[in-house]
Amino acid sequence: MLRHHEDRLADLRELLAEPLTPWQLAERMEWNRPWEQIPYGSRNIAVSEAEAHLRRLVKLGHAEVVTGSDPVTYVAA
């Protein structure tokens, strides 16, 4: 389980080479099916998961909020 989370965080850092909102990040993450096939309600849950990973990356100093972005975007640090 820990290895899965480490791998997920590493993948997200690569995605954050460009500034992304949590929704944009979730769209690009690897899921058990293509994003287009995920029901809208489940997409909101996926975005919440992306936000949780983003908070962890920020806490570790591996990502940061893009100052002045609206909506809020994140980028790898």
Task: Give tens-digit pLDDT for 4-63.
Answer: 888 889 999 999 999 999 999 999 999 999 999 999 999 999 999 999 999 999 999 999
| Residue with tokens 């992306």, as numbered in its chain | 50
Structural contact between residues 29 and 43, judged by C-beta atoms closer than 8 angstroms: no
Residue 1: the pLDDT is 84
What predicted TM-score, i.e. pTM, was given to this entire model? 0.90
Set out the domains of the chain in order of their start, with CATH numbers. Answer: 2-76 (1.10.10.10)
Q: Given this model, what pLDDT does residue 40 score?
A: 93
Identify the CA nearest to 20 among candidates 52, 68, 77, 65: 65
